Amino acid sequence: MQPSEQPLQRSRAIVEQLKRSKIYRDYEQAFRDTTGLPINLRPIESFDLPFKADPNQNPFCALMAKTNQTCSACLQLQRKVEEEAKMEPKTLKCFAGLCDSAVPIRVGENLVAFLQTGQILLHQPTDEQFAKTTRQLLKFGADTDLKRLEEAYFQSRVLNKRQYESILRLLTIFAQHLSTLSNQLAVKQQNSEAPMVSRARVLIADRHAEDLSLETVAKAVNTSAFYFCKMFKKSTGLTFTDYLARVRVEKVRNLLLNPHKRISEAAFEAGFQSLSQFNRVFRRVAGEAPTTYRDRLHGSSAAATG
């Protein structure tokens, strides 16, 4: 079962605040400098490539991310890692034998984010393993420079199991610190947010698929449209229209995790009134076209059901 929009929005807000904190920025830099590995703090259900802009990204993985078919395989691995890491750290291997790991950050019973690292081998790369990887790439139909890919693969960082387990213990300890900080942020936000804004968030999460207007929501929380608009922007940092758009786009992104869901169906199910409006808003919020997002998830074959 996927989390509702309200926990998703809360997770994104907490992650944004944590990433701005000095403790996280200091740890992030120290982790990269000490281990040479990538690191990322990610909201729940955030199925993007986690180390895309990381200076320590594995060069092999960077090349893989450039083709839809292999990018899709990486995204599916991220989904599986997060599904299995909800209660404790989890490490999984991709088709090329590289390890990715996720450490959960929890506040009480609630999962709020993940710390991730990886893109490493637990053994020296071999010609046999690369040949196996090449065969899988050919099955994917990936169009890439195999010579360049081979060079990158053999540059992959290699750690023994004990070394990697020690690194994951460091991440787990830091996750506990971030959990405490997340709880403080959540309490602070709850205490500072006007009750009508909290009620409005719940209403939007429950009824975003309807033709919601600012006036309708303001009336539901017993205030004028002008005052509600002002207070909502002050509390969330977004206008009502932008906030509603982001909730709907997040709903579409989750719906499209189902490879059989048509983009148009997902758009209308999330509350968009027209496809032209949906395409424009999705591109603005997600930074890419919905077809591009879907292709990254499921490969180019998904275009046939777009």
CA dihedral over 229, 287, 24, 104, signed as positive or negative? positive
pLDDT at residue 186 in the model? 61
Lowest mean pLDDT among 6-10, 79-83, 278-282, 287-291: 6-10
27 and 167 assigned to the same domain:
yes
- Specify the higher pLDDT residue, 174 or 8: 174
> 204 and 93 in one domain?
no
Q: Which residue has the higher pLDDT, 55 or 293?
A: 55
Residues 104 and 167 in one domain: yes
Alpha-carbon Rg of the chain, whole angstroms? 21
Last residue of a domain, one of 136, 161, 189: 189
Same domain, 85 and 213: no
Residues 181 and 78 in one domain: yes
Q: Are residues 141 and 20 both part of a single domain? A: yes
pLDDT digits (tens, 9 = 90+) for 224-246: 999 999 999 888 778 999 989 98
Domain membership of residue 116 as a residue range: 5-189
Q: Taking residues 276-297, report their average pLDDT.
A: 86
9-47 pLDDT tens trace: 778 888 888 888 888 999 999 999 999 999 999 998 877
Q: Are residues 13 and 89 in the same domain?
A: yes
Q: Is the pTM of this model over 0.75?
A: no
Length of the chain counted residue by residue: 306
Q: What pLDDT does 248 receive?
A: 92
CATH of the domain at 23: 3.30.450
Q: Do both 65 and 128 map to the same domain?
A: yes
Which of 140, 166, 189 represents a domain boundary (last residue)? Answer: 189
- Which CATH number does the domain housing residue 274 bear? 1.10.10.60
Q: Domain tally for the chain?
A: 2
Instruction: Report helix, strand or coil for 168.
Output: helix
Claim to verify: residue 206 and residue 95 sit in the same structural domain: no
Tell whether the model's pLDDT for residue 124 goes beyond 80: yes
Mean pLDDT of 129-148: 84
Q: Mark whether 48 and 164 lie in a shared domain.
A: yes
Shared domain for 153 and 291, answered yes or no, is: no
Q: How far apart are CA 166 and CA 37, in angstroms?
A: 13
Same domain? For 201 and 273 the reply is yes
